[in-house]
Amino acid sequence: MFIHGEWLSADSGEVFQSTNPATGKVLGQVASGSRSDTRKAIDSAAEAFSVWSKLTVYERAEFLYRAHSLMMAEQDSLAVVMTEEQGKPLAASRNEVKYAADFLLWFAEEAKRIYGRTIPSARTDQRFFAIQQPVGVVGAITPWNYPISMITRKVAPALAAGCTIVLKPAEFTPLCAKAVFEIFAKAGFPPGVANLVTAADPEPVGAELLSDSRVRKLTFTGSTEVGRMLSQEAGKRLKRVSLELGGHAPFIVCPDADPVHAAKGLTLVKFLNTGQACISPNRIFVHSDIAEPFLQELTARVKALKAGSGFEPGVKIGPLVSKGELEKNENQVQDAVEKGARLLAGGCRLMEDGLENGYFFAPTIIRDVTPSMLIYRQETFGPIAPVIIYDDSDDVLSMANDTDYGLAAYVYTKELKTAFRFFENLNFGIIGINDINPTSAAAPFGGMKDSGLGREGATEGILEYLETKLGGFSV
Residue numbers annotated as active site: 244, 278
CA distance 186 to 194: 12
Instruction: Identify the three-state secondary structure at position 191.
Output: coil
370-392 as b/e: b if 16+ CB within 10 A: eeebbbbeebbbbbbbbbbbbee
DSSP H or E segment with residue 130: strand 126-134
Q: Residues, the chain, total?
A: 475
CA distance 236 to 214: 15
Which conformational region is residue 443 in: left (phi greater than 0), alpha (psi within -120 to 50 degrees), or beta? beta
CA distance 217 to 96: 26
188-202 as b/e: b if 16+ CB within 10 A: ebebbbbbbbbbbeb
Strand partners, 253: 286, 412
359 and 325 Cβ atoms separated by less than 8 Å: yes
165 and 217 Cβ atoms separated by less than 8 Å: no
Please return the burial class of 72, using the count of CB atoms within 10 Å of its CB with bins 0-12, 13-18 and 19+.
middle
247 and 451 Cβ atoms separated by less than 8 Å: yes
